[in-house]
Each structure stands twice: as structure tokens, then as C-alpha cells.
Chain A
Amino acid sequence: MSQPDPLLEFLLRMGDNTLVLGHRVSEWCGKGPVLEEDIALANTALDLIGQTQMWLGLAGDIEGKGRSADDLAMLRDAWEFRCTLLVEQPNGDFGQTMMRQYLFDQWHLLQLRALKDSSHDQIAAIAAKAEKEVTYHHERSADLVIRLGDGTEESRPKMQAALDLLYPYVGEFFEGDATDKTLAEAGIAPDPASLRGAFDAALSTTMDEATLTLPDSRFTHKGGKTGTRHSEHLGHLLTQMQWLQRAYPGATW
């Protein structure tokens, strides 16, 4: 098997994160706890899907086999996906969804800020556009994590349970491999590990305000970003997300 093109691999990682999380968040549509949150979640999902079109669109161009963003989103199978394990985790309750969102947003914001200085012009341009949206996502998710954590007798234990459940998926964002090394050397993307310090500082500030306790263990699940070991949840998600294109290939409206 030939080595994957590092740039293509990187774009799939960016696009698959936003695609899979966007789909997950869209699962709340019509089921939000209140009307206002329902709309806010749908807006977030749409932002993420919009960013996916840019990342996967560029991925298709780089690949040069005529595959569009839609083809990449709808016609790949689980092992070809490069999203982190965190974003494919189920929604759980609203608090769990917001905790997952905050953990992702905090990394996403730092990543996009670094990518704005990418030596690759198109990547820098996509990052600049996405950063505005993600700044708002982050403001909202951090705010809700703090409110629900420093909340009621009912909400606080739920948020602590969500943090305990999801924190072991955080480390994967900062794991680097040969792809990351190549891109960092070319000035295209930051070394993943270089973002950890800023992430940890922001995370501990937010969790202090939320009166939540970070788990001691730095153990992290991994295998999503490299595609070697996705959780079983991804297959179920794709079954629903890709159903229409699988059942009616090429269907448009």
C-alpha cells in the first residue's frame, strides 16, 4: 500500500471532524431542550457542515481523482474516515453534547488560529473564515459548560460525568504522526503537540469556573484520526448519514 499524500490526509482529518460532529449536532434538530437551544445547535451544525464543504472540497481537488466534497462525505466507508474518536461519540444528554462541543471547540479554535498563518494559501483562507464561526461556537459552549457545571444539584453531576466520560478522548487531538511532522515542517499546519499547553490552560480555567474536576489520568483513546480504530459509533452514524446516497446513488434535488 502506498503512503497517503500528507496534505490530503490532513484535509480529510479537518473535514471529517467537522462533518461527523456536524452530523452529530444535527441529530438534535427538533429535539432540543428549548426552542432557542434547538436553533442554536442547528446553526452550529450548519456552520460545521459548511466548513466540511471547504475542507473536503479542497481535499478532492488535491486528490485529483474528480471526487467532490459530497462524494467524499457520502461514499467513503468508516475505515476511510479520519475524524477523531471524540466527535463520533453519541450525543447523550444535552450536557454531554455541550461538553463534547466545548472540548472540540477549544481545540478547534486553537487549531484554526494556527492555520490562519499556514504557508498554504487556501488552508489559511478556509481557517480565517471558519475561525469567526468557531469563536462563537466556543463562546457559547464554554458559557453553557460553566453555567451547567456551576449550576444545580441536577446539572452539576451530569456535567462532571460528561467530563469524566469524554476527557479520555481529548489527547488524540495532540497526538502527532508522520503526516503531522511533514506538514509542520512545511509550515502548513502546526505540530499537534504544540497546541496542548494553550489547550490545557484554557481547559483548566473553564473547568475551574464550572466547578468541575479534571480527571488525573492523561490516558487517551486513539485510532480515529489515523483511521485505524474508529469506535463502533461511527458506522452507525454513517449508516444514517449516507443512507440516501447508498440507496439512490447520484440522487440530487
Chain B
Amino acid sequence: MTDKREWPLWEIFIRGQHGASHRHVGSLHAPDAEMAILNARDVYTRRKEGVSIWAVPANAIAASSPSKKGPMYDPAEDKAYRHPTFFDIPKDVGPM
């Protein structure tokens, strides 16, 4: 068992404004989800940074392995045709 005196780590995501998506802003320690939200409010929204907070147990996040960086990402390097920059977009469409 983990030492109960050490609080688990939470990853904090904050949505800056309505319509935007939540973005990772950092992490903190808290004994449970409710306290994680309160702590996030105090640590990460002191300057009106957000309108919504998500707290996710850090150990619930599955992460890709840094050692597999080459096979994972390098193959995309010379495939410029995957970027949608080869189309002429009519002005009427506006920003996409």
C-alpha cells in the first residue's frame, strides 16, 4: 500500500472560456477528487484563468513511451501531403 500521509497526484485541466477546450495547466496533490478541485481553484485560477476545472488522477493517464519516439513520430516527418495546405479555400468560407 502507498503511504497514506502522501496525497496522490492529480493532473489539472482548465477551460479558459466557454466554448474552448480544457487545457492541461499543471499538477497538484490532494487526498481526493473534491479537494483536488478546491486546490486547483486556489493554485491555478487565482488570476481568473478559467471557468471550469477537471482533475484527473495522474496514475489514470496512460502515456506514450519517450523511448519509442522514433518509430512513433518520425514516419510523419516527410509526409507533408498530410497537411491540408494544398487546397484553395474560397474567401466566403471565412476562418476555418
Contact = CB atoms under 8 A, between A and B. Distances in A.
B30 interface: yes
B7 A34 contact: yes
Given A34-B7, A34-B29, A143 B38 contact: yes
Given A34-B7, A143-B38, A43 B46 contact: yes
What does DSSP make chain A's interface, helix, strand, loop or mixed? helix
B42 interface: yes
Contacts of B42: 36, 39-40, 43
Interface in A121-178: 136, 139-140, 143, 147
A82 to B, nearest CB: 30
B43 interface: yes
Contacts of A43: 42, 46
Given A34-B7, A34-B29, A40 B46 contact: no
A36 B46 contact: no
A36 B45 CA distance: 13
Contacts of A34: 7, 29
B36 to A, nearest CB: 9
B28 interface: yes
Contact of A40 (B7, B29, B38): B38
B52 interface: no
A6 B11 CA distance: 51
A15 to B, nearest CB: 23
Nearest to B5: A152
Interface string A189-228: 0000000000000000000000000000000000000000
Contacts of A35: 28-29, 43
Contacts of B43: 35-36, 39-40
Question: Most B CB atoms within 10 A — which of A36, A140, A143?
Answer: A36
Nearest to B28: A36
Nearest to B36: A36
B47 to A, nearest CB: 11
Interface string B39-64: 10111001000000000000000000
A183 B38 CA distance: 37
A139 B35 CA distance: 11
A140 B39 CA distance: 10
Contacts of B30: 36
A140 B42 CA distance: 11
Contact of B39 (A36, A136, A147): A36
A147 B7 CA distance: 14
Contacts of B34: 143
20 contacts: A34-B7, A34-B29, A35-B28, A35-B29, A35-B43, A36-B28, A36-B30, A36-B42, A36-B43, A39-B43, A40-B38, A40-B39, A40-B43, A43-B46, A139-B38, A143-B34, A143-B35, A143-B38, A147-B31, A147-B35
What 10 pairs between A and B have smallest CB-CB spacing?
A40-B42, A36-B39, A39-B42, A43-B42, A39-B43, A36-B28, A140-B38, A36-B43, A36-B29, A43-B46
Given A36-B28, A143-B34, A143-B35, 7 more contacts: A35-B28, A36-B30, A39-B43, A39-B46, A40-B38, A136-B41, A143-B38
